[in-house]
Structure 1
Amino acid sequence: MKTFQTVNSCRSSGNAFHPRIKSFYHFYILGLVLLSFLLVQKANATDWKAEKKAIEQKIESQSISINQLQQGLKRQQEQASEAITQERNLLAELEVIDAHLLEKMTKLQDLETSMATQQELIAVKEREISSIQLEKQKGQAHLQKRITAYYKTGKIGVINVAFSADTLPKLLSIHDSFSVLIHYDQNLLQQYRKTLEGLEQTKRALILEKNLLDDFINQASQEKKAVEQTKQEKKELLAQIRTQTKLHEQAAQEIEKAAGDLSTQLATMKQKKVLFSQGFLMNKGWLLLPVSGRVLTLYGQSTKNKMGVEGVSAGISIEAPDGTKVKAIFEGTIHYAGYLRGYGNTIIIDHGFEYYTVTSRIEKLLKEEGDAVKAGENIGIMGETATLVEEGLYFEIRHGAETEDPLLWLDKNKLSLP
């Protein structure tokens, strides 16, 4: 509890009667911008509570929305990360596929080169066969002529010898020569046949190898097509994943922006909540009167009491009949209730955010320190004894260490001003 001397010194020196520092002062200045707009509208003095409740509900709703957006953002970021991982894996797979495809293409090219060589070998053998067949045909024709000539000579007998112009030895020599030539031609034809058989066998072997190469080429071609198909499918999948990644990243950006916008709105709403939590400040100019009556002394007015003590009023004095109930101008907590030298019976109410009201010259105190009071609740009763030295109910409004003109805060419509 504050001592009588400490509180009383506030009146004369202007020092703080409450030890707390003006931690919210600068914020109040900022908040007055919004407050001035609200006060211009002259809303009902009790509307601030409903507005505060609406703001609190909106803060709760926006907090939930922000939480949901943050969860959505996290999901989108995780999905984008997963898509990026899939993209990297696919790129690695495509590298392997490209290497495999290159291997298949090289193998196919080698097989096609072998096929071309094989076809050339077959063509060479076919030309050799054609040449041997031609030689064989010539040899057969030549042999046929020799045989025909041989048979025309007939067998050597008595008649041939008798009628021939040649001698018998010569006829025998001619006959033997024909036999040798025919035998030679027959051997030559036999060699042609063997050569042809060898060439045909070689050709068949080459054709067999060619057919095998055809099979290998077809198989290699199919493998190459399969690898190309796999590569195409992987590329299409990669394109889809990149699209998904882009969509997830875009969604994450949009969600992040929406969350940022909501966070900005939430910060504004929280500032409003703080402002509206200052109900005392919000009701400036519309606060209830401690008592109704005529104002005897204005704020800042030079004063002189009945004992001749001069000073400057840090509040106002209001004339009211004895027995008048003194009311709390706004809800708060009784910070002090008792006798203060220079003030008389005094009640100091803490209205929050460093706002205090000091009400003195009360005949009877109805509240004790620590009591919670509502706006309009009776806190004391006026009487003759309390106003022996100075007239009227004395009333101050303080913000931290500073006194303020009560007439700027109270509803002056119910006061009679000098």
Structure 2
Amino acid sequence: MRDMIKYLNQTLRASALCTGALLCLVISLPSLAANQNQLDGVKQEISRQQSQLSSKQKKITSLQKSLKQQELAIAAAARKIHAAEGELSTLESSIRQFHGQLQQLQQQQVGQQEMLKELLNNHYRQGKNSQLASLLSGEDSTELDRMSVYAERLSAARARALDELAATTTELQLKQHQLNQQKQQQKNTLAELKTEKSKLEAEQRKRKKTVRTIKTQLKSDTQYLTELQTNEKRLVDEIAKAKAAAEAARRVPMDGLAKRKGKLPWPVKGKVLHQYGSSQQGELRWKGMVISKSAGSQVKAVYPGKVVFADWLRGYGLMLVIDHGKGDMSFYGYNQTLLKKVGDTVQANDAIALVGDSGGQDQSALYFEIRRKGSPTNPVSWLTK
């Protein structure tokens, strides 16, 4: 009997548990359905956000490509303008030199004309009247003939010299005219190039405005930070490649910057917009410094070395890198155009580029960075105070 009661109690407890479990399952079914709907909604929102970010990234990538093309075109025009200005300066120097030569010849001409005038006066005074007086006075006619022949020969010599001087003056005037024509041609070319550059810069401003709009949209996203970090990685990767190539092709020894700390000249003189180590975006900090300077100003090398990179790089625009040896390198970005190419050897204070706003910058400035064995260091500590 006891065993029978025990069995019935166990059966009742099991039935109660089953009933409670079924009841809980029935009660929780609507909650599970609601949670599943919420999960589906979250997935859809994530998918939508990812799609928007992907679309934004594709758009900014496309605009960056257009920006690169525009900035390279501007760089080519600026380089031609720089060369044309140099040629114009040479022509102006030549013209000034020819002016000096012409003035000197004109002075010689005046002197020789005065001498010839005096000679003609003397010859006139020794003319027929003098001959008649000499005959009447009984002077020696042989002496008179000798003086006349001398005067005639001297007069002829002066006439020839004057003719030669006139021919030289004419030749110089012709050369001066030719030089003036070349100078005018150079001015016309310079004006055309500046007009072309203005058009390209106007187009660039449109592109950069669009890029800035997209960047503003991305500032609240982690993707903007990712863009900056990716730009940094691009720079490191490109420099690693360039350094490897430079090591293989090196012919001249370079002593590095170790002994030049605090003694290097500034690449440009201007207001520092961003200091080394200051915040760039979030936890990302500037690896170099940004120096404000008007567009077209010359960028100078801070120390002798070899150019190992000279190209457009996303985020940095037209970038030039100089290897100074022993793992020391200097970086010059945001340029309008580059005046040196990979493989060129440069000296301190050589003009290597022109200041610009390439890479999508809002204003003209120079990005300057120094790295030692691949690690960025504060460039201010290396420059003269």
Larger radius of gyration: 1
TM-score normalised by structure 1 residue count = 0.44
Answer 1 or 2: higher relative contact order, Cα 8 Å, separation at least 6: 1
